[in-house]
Structure 1
Amino acid sequence: MKDIEQLDKARERVIETIAQNMGLYGVTPSVGRLYGLLYFKNEPMTLDDMKEELGMSKTSMSTAVRHLLELKMVEKVWKKGSRKDLYIVNQDWYQTFADFFAIKWRTSISINVKAMKKSIEELHGILNSESVEEGIQKTAKQDIEKLEHALEYYEWLNRVVDTFESKDIFKHIPK
């Protein structure tokens, strides 16, 4: 009995640490606990299994699993004879990080680039105005230069994300 208690204690330590650090992935500690639970399971689990193990509602489990699926941290699997959805954790932490990085950065890049392009367009509108004051015109030109420089950064960052999505990152920094 003591060995099983030590095994559970060792696993629980890792699960709690994962749960505490899941904020990096934008998820709550309870989602992190679910990930940790799935990580140590050697077989797929249903939402009912997860609910029973963690004492959370089936709705909460469903939401947590959906979030982990979106981050590609868990996968839905099929098992002969089972009608329920089954889930396993993606064991490849390297790929999980690469997927997460790409998902989050693509979103951020898109939002920032869109805002900057719109602002550049508006700033050009100011420059094309016949009644623009000299000081405003100078500031608008400076802002356009800054934003165009920032857009170059986002082009570079898109190429970085490309290396994660294509898995070329692992050629430069092997697993």
Structure 2
Amino acid sequence: MKLNCPSDMDKLEIARRRISTVMAKTMDLYGTPPSIGMLYATLYFSEDPLTLDELKESMGMSKTSMSTGVRKLEENHFVNKVWQKGVRKDLYEAQKDFYESFIGFYCNMWHRELELNMEAIRKAEPELKALLKSSDEEVRRLAERDLAQLENGQNYYKWLEKLVKSLESGKIFDFIPKLEKEVD
């Protein structure tokens, strides 16, 4: 009786499926459904950029789902739209530099966090300062405490802004260098 041994191509596909499954699970950490993670994995292992139609065929998902998924991946800096001479459809490729994906994703999120919170602090601060003149002692005490907390928040957001700038400029790598490919 002859056993069916997997071919080398089968073994390659098994290894890729294993990595793709983990990529899909990891995408969940970024607030992305596993199906979009599988979409990223498909692009990651593709040698060439793919169109939405090619992705649809490969993944068995609707073109609308593909479009939504690719847009989400593009917004989160995991996928890039590329141009190729003679091709009229949009082409997409995975961002394979995980450092760039990390920086793009987190800096994007942190910019939004900074903007929202600093705007809230800018609006709340004068309101709280005005309450320091309240005739109600309890209100004054609470306003003073809240202002101290806002100051701590502002310090954090100033630090976060410096972190974002160091990531975007690449200066972070002066302190924590990228790891080079290890040689066996």
Normalising by structure 1, report the TM-score.
0.93
Give, in angstroms, the shift of residue 7 of structure 1: 1.0
User: Which whole-Å deviations, capped at 9, do the CAs of 1:134-161 have from their partners, x for residues lacking one?
Assistant: 1111111111011112101110110011
Q: Report the counterpart of residue 24 of structure 2 in structure 1.
A: 19
Distance of 2:60 and 2:99 partners within structure 1: 30
Q: Report the counterpart of residue 72 of structure 1 in structure 2.
A: 77
Give, in angstroms, the shift of residue 116 of structure 1: 2.4
Query: What pairs with 1:8-157 in structure 2 (closer than 5 Å)?
Result: 8-129=13-134, 132-157=135-160
Q: Pick one of 141, 161, 171 that aligns with 2:174.
A: 171
Q: Which has the higher helix share?
A: 1
Give, in angstroms, the shift of residue 52 of structure 1: 0.6
Give, in angstroms, the shift of residue 109 of structure 1: 1.8
User: Which whole-Å deviations, capped at 9, do the CAs of 1:116-141 have from their partners, x for residues lacking one?
Assistant: 23222221232234xx3111111111
**Greater RCO (CA < 8 Å, at least 6 residues apart):** 1
Give, in angstroms, the shift of residue 24 of structure 1: 2.1
Give, in angstroms, the shift of residue 66 of structure 1: 0.8
- Partner of 1:42: helix, strand, or coil? coil
Stretch of structure 1 that moved more, 116-125 or 2-11:
116-125
Distance of 2:28 and 2:170 partners within structure 1: 25
Structure 2: which 5+ residue stretches go unaligned?
Answer: 1-5, 179-184
Give, in angstroms, the shift of residue 114 of structure 1: 1.7
Q: 2:133 touches 2:140 (CA, 8 Å); kept in 1?
A: no
Structure 1: which 5+ residue stretches go unaligned?
Answer: none
Distance of 1:46 and 1:78 partners within structure 2: 11
Aligned residues: 173
- Partner of 1:83: helix, strand, or coil? coil
Normalising by structure 2, report the TM-score.
0.89
- The one-letter code matched in structure 2 to 1:169 is I
